[in-house]
Structure 1
Amino acid sequence: MASGLLALLDDIALIMDDLASATKVATKKTSALLADDLAVGAKKASGYASERELPVIWAIAKGSFINKIIILPAVFVLSYFAPFLITPVILLGGVYLSYEGAEKVIDFIFHGGKDKKVSKEMTEKEKIRSAVITDFILSLEIIIIALSTVQDKPFSVQVITVSMVALLATVGVYGLVALIVRMDDFGLSLMVRYEGVLKQTGYFLIISLPYVIKALSVIGTVAMLAVGGGIFVHNIEFFHSISEKFIPYISDILVGFFIGTTAVSAVKALKRMKRLFYSNSS
């Protein structure tokens, strides 16, 4: 009886050690994407009135949790029964990310980055929807990369490890996003309650926030292009061979911008054709 219990405890210890090791490797492999997810998340969650910041972040975080609930079982099923479908799905996600990034760049170049005037309520809903869709694609990429690092492990270890990485991608990322967008409130609290260095720190946090948000907005756009382009570089030989002529991250951005501008042009062409069709039919 005692020997059986000791054997069971030994097995549990080995599984826990295997899980810790696998999670560490998977997190390291996905760290760059988690950083990109943070930049994109902060970009998507900024630009609201102070009282709407946390509700918007919470809405995006809930959408992110739902994304994980959908993606995790779907990826495990695809990986087991139809692994050949994973790459096309990722490529479609790469097109979307590249499209979003390129659209922002084109809008900044030709319109100074000014958004069209729409109602405040619709703008908020559209931003949340866009953030959740972007999170879905980044989450899919993170989960698939995490799964690729534990393919040689037992299925139970794969499920737990990838699920832990997915949870980190939501709790960690949107927790940090919430801290960033509320940085000014924390700074104000320091200024009101303390004197000396802490008061100066609070003032620095307040005046720094607009610059941090602007920087994250730029980083988020670049991240979308880099992740979108990186998907094509890593999965399409043609783009991979071209990328070898450039610095790795730069090549991902260039490929992402090329894919994105192509997608933007295609969407605009389709919209023109749609308008012409309706004008002729009327």
Structure 2
Amino acid sequence: MAASLLALLDDIASVLDDVALMTKVAARKSAAAADDVAVLTKLSAQKTAGVLGDDLALNAQQVAGVRADRELPVVWGVAKGSLVNKAILVPAALAISALAPWLVTPLLMAGGAFLCFEGAEKLAHRFLGGHEKEHEAAPGADARAETDLAALEKAKVKGAVRTDFVLSAEIIAITLGNVTGQPLPTQLAVLAGVALIMTAGVYGLVAAIVKLDDAGLFLSQRASRAAQAAGRAILRLAPWLMKLLTVAGTAAMFLVGGGILVHGVPALHHLAHGWQAAGGLTGALLPLLLDAGAGLATGALLVAAMHLLHKARQ
């Protein structure tokens, strides 16, 4: 009986040793997987930094024309829409990569063409007209003005979310390229991590930018002369910064959209790659000019085609 009990205890001790060993191995593998996720997330964030800058410029300009007390609600509305975009794009990207990887490039090129179209449409409205004339003041004008402001806010949020979808798709596509061949949980963790980091980074900065004038006003009313000087400087800088971001946002539409199109056309992609390999100022400038030129040409053709289609329907 005693021998049987000792044998049982020995078996239990062996099982516990096995459990401890397997737990230790699993913990090491989990730590290694976590390290891989962290490294891949950092790498993907670095590679998408350029798109992040374009995303920032594009979204900051969307707030132009919104009342000061509605700026943050508009930014928050776009941020929520961006999260919804990424919640759609992450599983869609994983599914397309697994089932139909050949679809990635055509879908990105369609998104790039859309960005080019939006940029060209903005330029057409700015330089060729196209906006309706302002209505003269009339009875009930105040009520209509409130309705118009609400409609403007809604349109800005909708347009910004639509544009964000294309930029988010490019961010997800770049990130997916970095995690190809990794286990599915790692891919999902990296994609979700980059999506959250980019959304928080972009819209946090946008919120800070649109509230620069409020920060300047606050500082200008402080007792300290240094604070007052800093506040006045910010108040002078804020309008110019918003104008710069408006121009940069429109330019980013052509650069990002054109860059996607150039990357999708082998001959243009090889040409741009050859210029980049040359290095120096030429290697940095010529690919950008190629992207911008391709984006501007594509956008102009699409705007002209839409104009002719509209005429034909009439």
| TM-score, normalisation: structure 1 | 0.91
Whole-angstrom distance in 2 between the partners of 1:202 and 1:234: 44
Question: Do 1:239 and 1:255's aligned partners in 2 also have CA atoms closer than 8 Å?
Answer: no
Alignment of 1:177-256 (within 5 A): 177-240=206-269, 243=272, 247-256=286-295
Aligned to 2:171: 142
**Structure 1 261/242 Cα, relative in aligned 2: closer, same or farther at 3 Å?**
farther
Q: Does 1:52 align with 2:82?
A: no
- Shift, 1:250, TM fit: 1.5
Q: Conserved in 2, the CA contact under 8 Å of 1:233 and 1:239? A: yes
Amino acid at match of 2:307: K
**Equivalent residue number for residue 131 of structure 1:** 160
Moved more, 242-251 or 66-75: 242-251
Structure index of larger Rg: 2
Could you say what the CA RMSD is over the residues aligned between the two structures, in angstroms?
A: 1.9
Kindly indicate whether the alpha-carbon contact (under 8 Å) linking 1:229 and 1:256 is maintained by their aligned counterparts in 2.
Answer: yes
Q: Does 1:78 align with 2:96?
A: yes
TM-aligned CA deviation for residue 6 of structure 1: 2.4
Of 133, 141, 150 in structure 2, the residue corresponding to residue 121 of structure 1 is 150
> Which residue of 21, 45, 49 maps to 2:39?
21
Aligned length: 274
Change (3 A) 1:116 1:89: farther
SS in 2 for 1:247: helix
The CA deviation at 1:24 is: 1.4
CA distance in 1, matches of 2:100, 2:49: 27
Unaligned 5+ residue runs, structure 1?
276-282
Q: CA offsets per residue over residues 7-52 of structure 1, 9 Å max, x none?
A: 2221122111111111111111111001110110101122211011
Give the aligned partner of residue 280 of structure 1: none
AA aligned opposite 2:70: R
Aligned to 1:267: 306
Paired with 2:133 and 2:84, the residues of 1 have a C-alpha distance of 30
Unaligned 5+ segments in structure 2 are 1-18, 136-147, 276-284
Q: Percent identity?
A: 39
Q: Which amino acid aligns with 1:270?
A: L
Aligned counterpart, 1:169: 198
Counterpart CA distance in 2 for 1:117 and 1:63 is 30
Q: Indicate the residue corresponding to 2:296 in structure 1.
A: 257
Q: One-letter code of the match for 2:235?
A: I
